[in-house]
Structure 1
Amino acid sequence: MSLTLGMITTDSVDPLPLAHWWADRLGGQIIQENDGWFVIVSTPIGILAFQKIDDPTPGKNRIHLDLGTDTDLETTVWAFLDAGASLVGERNEQGFRWFTLADPQGNQFCIAPQG
């Protein structure tokens, strides 16, 4: 059996603005809106989807994106913060440093140096 990753899907009470936010951050574009209930974003790093649900699961998301940057880490983090992300924390373990952020709807993701 051979599998490929089709897309990463995020639950949202309001998926269209969240899809636009991620498309802008990752240099992607919305390729399907489906009346706002299931929005698909094509990005250079893969396909993301945002599906409308009435009641998102509370608490920290169990799966999150780990994004790598080939530019200055702080510059990348500040670009996300300026665009509406919030800082969850900065971490440094055994010399490896990364930031955990949350998108405008509270979904956590990490940014670290690429490589």
Structure 2
Amino acid sequence: MRAQVAEIVFDCGDPARLVRFWAELLGGTPVDRSPDWSYVDPPGFVRIAFQQVPEGKVAKNRLHLDLHAPDVSAAADEAITLGAARSGGLVTDDEGDFQVMLDPEGNEFCFVSG
């Protein structure tokens, strides 16, 4: 038997705030199932859920999302207007560009063009 990914869950301090950021970034309607659990179903992607935990983020994520964007700089600028921040500078190599970003609670994700 093979399992299938049902959803990707982020631990966080404020699920309602984070789900709205990701819904604006990826599309979909934010849903607050309870005060400690929210989710969004982005078009063409698996559900992303946000679970409230008491502790804050203290280290780099062991897993992050790479989001394809034809114009990485423009995508980063737009994400910043939604509450994200850049982490480091734009990196360009033979495969294209990428930019490491932080969501409003500091979770890493990347915009990639290649």
Structure 2 length normalisation: TM-score?
A: 0.88
| Structure 1 equivalent of residue 20 of structure 2 | 20
CA distance in 1, matches of 2:57, 2:99: 23
Which SS does the other structure have where 2:41 is aligned?
strand
| Unaligned 5+ runs, structure 2 | none
CA deviations over 1:60-113 (Å, ceiling 9, x no partner) = 1111111112x3222111111122111002223444320000011100100011
Q: Percent identity over the alignment?
A: 30
- Please give the residue correspondences for 1:28-47 in structure 2 after superposition, counting only pairs within 5 Å: 28-31=28-31, 33-44=32-43, 45-47=45-47
Corresponding pairs, count: 112
| Structure 2 equivalent of residue 82 of structure 1 | 81
Q: Which has the higher strand share?
A: 1
Q: Which runs of 4+ in 1 moved over 4 A?
A: none
CA deviations over 1:44-63 (Å, ceiling 9, x no partner) = 12210000000034111111
CA distance in 2, matches of 1:84, 1:50: 16
| Unaligned 5+ runs, structure 1 | none
- Please give the residue correspondences for 1:35-114 in structure 2 after superposition, counting only pairs within 5 Å: 35-44=34-43, 45-69=45-69, 71-89=70-88, 90-113=90-113
